[in-house]
Chains A and B, each alone.
Chain A
């Protein structure tokens, strides 16, 4: 025991220094991206490379908006994010609430079904989701059998609807309502409130923490989503930011300074969101991971 107390402080300092080095290493790609984004295209190829640009090429950040419809892409992404969040916030807490607080036939089967859906990655069924969206009845020139038109392909509805009720979000909301005190319902019964009023005025206001977790993950998922927009959207004026980034790459290579400037512009909102709402990110993760 004595040896431990003598060496422990030194060892602790070494470990903390090691961890700081890992953190710096984890952030190096960002420094490199920002540094490259402020160089001229010629300087990005000059060696040995320098962390500080020779001449600060701030114009890269203007050029990227001229060269590609990046502003339009960001607007589209905001549209995608907001549309999805509005639907999610109406639909998902209601489902989580009854799964946690109500007793009705089939409840446990439905819940286990939702757990199973959580495991199937979107990537596995993406082809079929596309076929479904294309043959969606009565939309985009389709008849009632879903033939004849383009359905929801290349529309924001087709982009948003399949993502509005994520099994994971339903699970998180269910866990939040589940963890609330057992006697909340009886208070409402005494007041003579109906089912909707009980939910709306007693439970929903208490679930803001859970809603924040769902909002933040929804934002992150929609903003960073790539495969689904890549498949659903055809017209360039509808592209989201992640698709817009592809414009900066061509078969002959890339203009690295501009590409890095574009990645910085796309990433800064997400990092800002994380730094401000960090608490909710970590809370959401602990909800996934900590078993009772």
Chain B
């Protein structure tokens, strides 16, 4: 027998949780399950879904457009992830080791681009990337360097889009890394100093190893970010030139809402979820460690 007091407490707990649970189930879990069913049907909003087995999966996995988009997503992430991690790691280290009282104002300045929406960031950079009148080619010309095609050439479009995203988000990852560095106890550095270690040694022996969890978090977050890239592509390139910048999410959008082939779009969503699984396991493990469950 559970005592009455305890039973009341349990009931109350469920009631407190109920509204959030209902919303999470209806708007997160149901759509995902629904997607799984739809991905096996022929469905175009106007007509009711019709079962067609795994045809959608075969269709998308043999479609050169979708495979190109998947490849683009991977290539994009190979520009974005190392780029943003390198930039923010160097800046965070410099801030922490040498910033002193400059750290605060500098961190504020680095974070400001993050406050733009992706639409705004894309428009500003679209304007800077204009081959004839944009800022970047003007700067190149000033230094007598050859002008670039930026987002208008199949070879440079992905790094150019990645650059916009790095610009927008590096302040955020820098703040994450700085927070991680600040959480390392100062006593450790004191002890190292007494033992005769210089700054360089204590950086490699203390900061780098103890920063591993935060670095892993940044890697996972940027991984997820690069696999869900959409707005910057929708606004700047529309997937072009010649599909060279179409990503998986862009294909989901085009297939689902321009061509109204929701079955195929759902199948694409599941391919995306499977790719994201790579990041799921370390991330969940990390979050669980963080919250002591």
Contact = CB atoms under 8 A, between A and B. Distances in A.
Interface of A: 1, 4, 11-12, 15-16, 18-20, 22-23, 26-30, 32-33, 36, 44-45, 47-49, 90-92, 94-95, 97-99, 102, 104-105, 107-108, 110-112, 114-132, 134, 161-162, 164-165, 167, 170-171, 174-175, 178, 194-196, 199, 220, 223-224, 226-227, 231, 242, 245-246, 248-249, 254, 256, 259-260, 263, 266-267, 270-271, 273-275, 278, 281-282, 285-286, 288-292
Contacts, number: 292
Contacts of B106: 19-20, 23
B24 interface: yes
A267 B120 CA distance: 8
A193 B135 CA distance: 64
A227 B253 contact: yes
A13 to B, nearest CB: 9
B110 A266 contact: no
B273 interface: yes
Most buried by B among A49, A104, A125: A125
B9 A125 contact: no
B291 A125 contact: no
A254 to B, nearest CB: 8
Interface of B: 8-10, 12-14, 16-17, 19-21, 23-24, 26-32, 34-35, 38, 45, 91, 94-95, 97-100, 102, 106-113, 115-121, 123-125, 127-128, 132-133, 135, 138, 142, 167, 170-172, 175-176, 179-180, 183, 198-199, 213-214, 217-218, 224, 227-228, 230-231, 234-235, 249, 252-253, 256-257, 262, 265-266, 269, 272-273, 276, 279-280, 283-284, 286-293
Given A127-B266, A175-B291, A121 B276 contact: yes
Given A26-B110, A119-B224, A274-B112, A124 B19 contact: no
A29 B167 contact: yes
Contacts of B100: 12, 16
B180 A290 contact: yes
B12 A48 contact: no
A23 B110 contact: yes
Given A282-B175, A285-B175, A289-B176, A108 B13 contact: no
